[in-house]
């Protein structure tokens, strides 16, 4: 298929080489409609992380609410990826959906049980981050879709953060706030970069409105 035919069919080749991106691939039509949602999630996640980081006096109740919201946002993003990632395998899409559901359930738990202890909150978030990291690293290793390098970075960071908060026996609320705030800000930045990557590919394929 020629380049012009590929563009007409909603496909566009995108660069490979040292970046670790696949040399060719299809641009799902849904990217032209969902990149805005990913960008909104990026901004919301970054702001929540910033609040946690600059508010060391926050109570466990406030932290539980903010973390619950952040997990819900993350869950929505993962569910969107699971249902719209037309270029991913069935297994990867299922993994996205599972992680999205786990994030949503964890977020709802934090919002409904705002009197959780620091240790329990750290464990809930830690388990989710570890699973999140494993899925992202698996997707990056499989080379599915754009943003492979970013996914690997997010996966490694998620895995490290999850292990830290899970296995720190005497973790304090201040340390938990710092780790969560840094992770959420980093994740928000990565989401923003991925959103603009998706928009660029969708623009190149003529899938976004003029």
Q: Per-residue pLDDT tens for 79-91? A: 877 777 665 566 6
User: Is 99 a domain residue?
Assistant: yes
Number of domains in the chain: 1
Alpha-carbon radius of gyration of the chain: 18
106-133: pLDDT as tens digits:
889 888 887 778 888 888 888 888 988 8
User: Is 4 a domain residue?
Assistant: no
144 DSSP assignment: -
Alpha-carbon torsion (117, 111, 153, 193), positive or negative? negative
User: Is 70 a domain residue?
Assistant: yes
d(CA 85, CA 30): 8
User: Is 16 a domain residue?
Assistant: no
User: Is 54 a domain residue?
Assistant: yes
User: Is 55 a domain residue?
Assistant: yes
d(CA 48, CA 141): 29
User: Is 11 a domain residue?
Assistant: no
Domain limits for position 91: 27-204
Three-state SS across 3-52? HHHHHHCCECCCCCHHHCCCCCCECCCCHHHHHHHHHHHHHHHHHHHHHH
User: Is 57 a domain residue?
Assistant: yes
Percentage, residues of the chain above pLDDT 90: 4
Residue 46 is predicted with a pLDDT of 92
Tell me the CATH number at 44: 1.25.40
| pTM reported for the whole predicted model | 0.69
For the chain, the average pLDDT equals 75
* pLDDT at 105 > cutoff 70: yes
Strand residue runs (E) in the chain: none
């Amino acid at each position: 298929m020629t380049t012009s035919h590929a563009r007409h069919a909603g496909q566009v080749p995108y660069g490979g080489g040292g970046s670790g991106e696949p040399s060719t691939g299809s641009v799902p039509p849904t990217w032209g409609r969902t990149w805005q949602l990913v960008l909104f999630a990026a901004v919301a996640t970054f702001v929540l992380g910033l609040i946690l980081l600059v508010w060391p006096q926050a109570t466990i109740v406030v932290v539980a609410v903010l973390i619950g919201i952040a997990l819900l946002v993350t869950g929505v993003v993962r569910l969107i990826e699971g249902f719209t990632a037309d270029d991913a395998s069935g297994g990867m899409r299922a993994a996205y959906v599972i992680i999205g559901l786990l994030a949503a359930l964890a977020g709802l738990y934090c919002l409904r049980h705002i009197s959780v202890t620091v240790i329990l909150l750290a464990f809930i978030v830690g388990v989710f981050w570890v699973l999140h990291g494993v899925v992202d690293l698996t997707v990056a290793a499989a080379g599915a879709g754009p943003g492979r390098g970013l996914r690997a970075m997010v996966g490694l960071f998620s895995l490290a953060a999850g292990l830290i908060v899970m296995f720190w026996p005497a973790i304090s609320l201040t340390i938990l706030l710092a780790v969560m705030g840094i992770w959420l800000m980093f994740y928000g930045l990565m989401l923003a970069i991925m959103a603009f990557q998706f928009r660029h590919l969708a623009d190149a394929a003529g899938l976004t409105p003029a």
